[in-house]
Amino acid sequence: MRKYILSSFVALFVGFFLAKFFLEQYDSYEGIKFTSNTGETLYFIRYNTYSSEEEMEKKTLSLPNYIYQEDKGKYIVYVGITKDPKNLIKLTNYYSSLGYTTYTEEFLVTNQSFLKELENYDQILSSTEDDVVIASIASQVLEKYEEFHGSED
């Protein structure tokens, strides 16, 4: 019985120092520690922020389509998503022409299916100046984001 207890203490002692050694090696490593970065930074066009869901629903009746995010009791409404800076300008100009004040935020999105869909929509958006097409694409992108959002990460 005594040799089992002694063996257990020696094993714990050696294990502790090996773990300490490996953790110190990892912490002192100055190279890249991340294994991959499969996401892309996207531009989200923010319409407004509201303090309640009821207020948000009342104030967004005129919007053709939007998504929202609840964060610390605030409801943040987004009306467009793109990864192309030129399309960002096109979308913000479109909403400005409708009388909406918008803001731009950047988020890292990792859902590869959505990113592929967005790339297709961005190609179409970059080749049009028609407001009807721009509105349609903006709505379709938001719908796709909602569709894929549940499977993200």
Q: Is the full-model pTM beyond 0.85?
A: no
Q: Which residue has the tokens 């009306």?
A: 79
CB of 40 closer than 8 Å to CB of 79 = no
Q: How many other CB atoms sit within 10 Å of the CB of residue 84?
A: 18
pLDDT digits (tens, 9 = 90+) for 32-56: 455 456 789 999 999 999 999 999 9
What is the structure's pLDDT at 29? Answer: 56
Using alpha carbons, list the distances in angstroms from residue 27 to 16, 18, 20, 22, 24: 16, 14, 11, 9, 5
CA distance 84 to 151: 23
Mark the ranges of the chain whose per-residue pLDDT is less than 70. 26-37, 150-153
